[in-house]
Amino acid sequence: MRTKWFLMTAAILFLTVIGSGCGSKEVNSSLSPDSDTPAITSPATSDPGAGSSAEPEGSKPPSEEAQQPIMDKYEALLNLQGNEKALIAKMRQDISKLSPDNANRMILSFEAYQKETLAQGTVLSSSLIELIGKSNEPYNEKVINDLSKMTNPELKTLLQEVFDRGYKIIVPEGMYEAVIDYGAYKDVSEYASADIAAYIDIMAKESDGRMSTDAAIIIPIDEVFARAQAAERFMAAYPDSAVFGQVELRYMIYVDAWFFGQDNTPAFDNTTRELDQEFLDSYQNAVSSGGDSTIIAAAAEYLKILEENDYTLTNTVRDYRNSMTDELKNMSS
C-alpha cells in the first residue's frame, strides 16, 4: 500500500531534504496559437531549456477567470488529430500565465493526447517508413534522431515533422517505432507543480537514453541504480501524485534490471554463474555512497548474502534475490 511505502520512507526523505538544504477532424488553422513558435530541433540536438521564460520572482499567475480562456483554447486544440505542433506551441506561449494546477492539466492532457496518437500507430507515415526502407543506411537510434546525419532532403523533412510533434524514434529489433520525447516537455515543466516537474525529469531520462533495447541493458549499471533511486525518492515524496503509478512502473522496471539484469545482460554469467563485475561494482558503489534509501539498504544486505556464496548464483542467492525484489516492489503498491 502507498501508505506503507510512505511511512517507511518519510523519515529518509526528511533527512535527505534537510541535508541538502477524440473525433477525427482536419486541423483548423483558426485554432492555432496566436503567434508562431520555432520548430523543435531533432532530439539529438535540441536544447530543452531554449525559449523558456521563468516567471519573475514574486509574481502571481492571473486569476482563474483570466486563465480560463487560455485553457478553453488549448482544449479546443486537443480535439483535433495530428495537432501536436500547435499544442506544443500553445503550451510554450501560455503556460507561464497559468497556475501550477492548470499547468499540470495542460502538460498531462498533452501527454495523454500523445499516448492516444501512438496507440493509433499514425505518427510514422508510410512515406517515412518507405524512404527509410529504400535507404542503404541501417539507421540506429542515435543517427535516425539526428537531422544533421540525414542526407536525403525528403527524409529529413519527414523526420522534422515527427520531431516537431514531440516524438522521437526508437529501433527495437530493427523496427522503427515512435515514442514520446519527454525532452520536449522540459521547458514547460518548470511551471507545473513539483511532482509533475520531477515526473518529467524521470521520463525524460528514459526517452533521452533508453535503459535497454533488444533485451540488453545499454546504459551503465550505475545509471540503472540512479534511475531506480530517483523513482524511489519520487514515490516517497509524492505518494498522492496523479502520476504515482507511472513512476511506480518505472521503479519496478529499474529494480528488476539492477538486480537481475536482462536476457542479454544478465547479472550472473549463464555459464559460470558468477556475478558480473559491473553489477557488483554498482551494488558496492550504491552502498558506499552513504545515501539512505530502501533500495540501498536492500543492496547492503544482498552484498552480505553474495559474499557468503562467493558471488555465485546459488539457490540461496536466487531465493534471497527473488524475495528481496518482491518486497521492494510490493512496498510501493
pLDDT score of 317? 98
Residues near 42 by Cβ (< 8 Å), separated by ≥ 6? 145, 146, 147, 148, 159, 160, 163
CB 67 within 8 A of CB 98: yes
CB 239 within 8 A of CB 264: no
Q: For 221-233, what is the mean pLDDT?
A: 97
pLDDT score of 324? 97
Q: What is the rounded distance in angstroms from the CA atom of residue 196 to the CA atom of residue 149?
A: 34
The per-residue pLDDT of the chain, averaged, comes to 85
CB 60 within 8 A of CB 97: no
Query: Does residue 307 have a pLDDT over 60?
Result: yes
What type of residue is 74?
Answer: Y
pLDDT score of 333? 62
Please tell me the pTM assigned to this model.
0.80
Query: Does residue 81 have a pLDDT over 60?
Result: yes
User: Over the stretch 85-139, which tens digit does the pLDDT of each residue have?
Assistant: 999 999 999 999 999 999 999 999 999 999 999 999 999 999 998 888 887 666 7
Q: For 45-70, what is the mean pLDDT?
A: 62
CB 145 within 8 A of CB 169: yes
The strand pairing partners of 217, in sequence order, are 212
Confidence of residue 45 (pLDDT cuts 50, 70, 90): very low
Q: For 248-252, what is the mean pLDDT?
A: 97
Parallel/antiparallel/unpaired status of strands 261-262 and 265-266: antiparallel
Query: Does residue 255 have a pLDDT over 80?
Result: yes
Q: What is the rounded distance in angstroms from the CA atom of residue 227 to the CA atom of residue 331?
A: 17
